[in-house]
């Protein structure tokens, strides 16, 4: 059976790029964009006019269970990629109830609607901020991850739930790269701390991992894409070699270094060539035996953080990426 994929938050950075990949795949019959903003949908429709036969745009909110149920049922959805989220850290701190409604109650609605309509697989997108969270956004995404993972233990139907966790998507809305580019003429960039590091992942690698999970996941796993780190000061200097810094101090809810796998998760973490898989403590490990054949278990005290990463993004590699981004920045806008 060909895949009919519903992507929530489909007009965001990930959604727009994912759709462009998905409509080229022969095993995907149709992609359904589910989001709240009709203008973003209209702009996306204009940009993808020639491929419109494989795309349908649907106005809806993950907070609305009734709407989700009808959309999934009426369109015979068999896969869901859940990308909708309130994700700006400061916005979440200032609007906590709204963040909880979207990130936690929205996740609960996705789970309920998927099970009620016998969806094959749900792939939920998460964030590095869900590992040992210190802000509301990260805390709600951790809760969301737990909901998706634990429901594999409670669910007797055909639906499975898996999570994809990754760091900053390079050039995405809200990321530091377009912000620095907007200040480039000033030659002064605000920096919270000169020691700060971040994981960086290209949109291509993020999408590749989601398709890998669609095809190989068992249900209950958290997939973590291996990604290079970069010092924020080095990133800024690659954009403008003559830049000066205004040190502002770390903002509320911000970490000096990001983490994608904590020490408490190391006992359940397995390493593959391009990613890690965290299997849940509450499920039977035997169900993952086939998936884990080509993996190795990480060390007991393993931590995957941006400051202790073995892979770093060099200035020359970043400049190559930046050159391509400047030519195609509308893809990530």
Q: Is 87 an annotated catalytic residue?
A: no
Cβ atoms of residues 192 and 160 within 8 Å: no
∠ CA 133-139-145, rounded to 5°:
105
How far is CA 290 from each of CA 158, 255, 273, rounded to the nearest angstrom? Answer: 19, 37, 16
Cα(226)–Cα(200) distance, rounded to whole angstroms? 10
- Tell me whether residue 116 is exposed, middle or buried, using C-beta atoms within 10 angstroms of its C-beta: 0 to 12, 13 to 18, 19 or more: middle
Cα(252)–Cα(183) distance, rounded to whole angstroms? 23
Cα(232)–Cα(178) distance, rounded to whole angstroms? 13
Cα(102)–Cα(99) distance, rounded to whole angstroms? 5
Cβ atoms of residues 38 and 228 within 8 Å: no
Active-site residue identified among 16, 87, 129, 141: 129
Residues 6+ apart with CB under 8 A from 25: none
Closest CA to 118 of 154, 157, 81: 157
User: Could you list the active site residues?
Assistant: 129
């Amino acid at each position: 059976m060909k895949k009919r994929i519903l992507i929530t938050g489909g007009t965001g950075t990930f959604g727009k790029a994912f759709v462009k990949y998905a409509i080229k795949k022969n095993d995907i019959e149709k992609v359904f964009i589910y989001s709240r903003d009709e203008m973003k949908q209209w702009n996306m429709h204009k940009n993808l006019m020639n491929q419109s036969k494989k795309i349908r745009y649907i106005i809806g909110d993950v907070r609305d269970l009734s709407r989700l149920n009808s959309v999934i049922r009426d369109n015979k959805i068999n896969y869901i990629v859940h990308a909708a989220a309130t994700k700006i850290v400061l916005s979440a701190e200032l609007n906590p109830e709204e963040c909880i409604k979207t990130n936690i109650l929205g996740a609960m609605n996705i789970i309920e609607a998927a099970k009620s309509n016998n969806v094959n697989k749900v792939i939920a997108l998460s964030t590095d901020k869900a590992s040992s969270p210190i802000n509301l956004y990260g805390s709600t995404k951790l809760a969301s991850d737990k909901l998706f993972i634990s429901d594999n233990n409670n669910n007797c139907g055909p639906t499975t739930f898996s999570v994809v966790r990754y760091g900053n998507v390079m050039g995405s809305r809200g990321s530091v790269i377009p912000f620095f580019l907007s200040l480039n003429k000033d030659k002064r960039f605000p920096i919270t701390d000169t020691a700060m590091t971040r994981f960086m992942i290209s949109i291509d690698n993020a999408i590749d991992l989601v398709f890998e999970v669609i095809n190989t996941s068992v249900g209950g796993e958290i997939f973590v894409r291996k990604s290079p780190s970069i010092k924020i000061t080095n990133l800024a200097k690659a954009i403008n070699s003559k830049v000066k810094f205004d040190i502002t101090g770390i903002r509320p809810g911000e970490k000096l270094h990001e983490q994608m796998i904590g020490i408490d998760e190391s006992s359940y973490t397995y390493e593959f060539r391009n990613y890690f898989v965290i299997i849940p403590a509450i499920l039977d490990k035997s169900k993952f035996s086939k998936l884990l054949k080509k993996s190795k278990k990480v060390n007991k005290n393993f931590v995957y953080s941006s400051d202790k990463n073995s892979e770093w993004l060099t200035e020359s590699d970043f400049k190559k990426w930046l050159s391509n981004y400047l030519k195609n920045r509308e893809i990530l806008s």
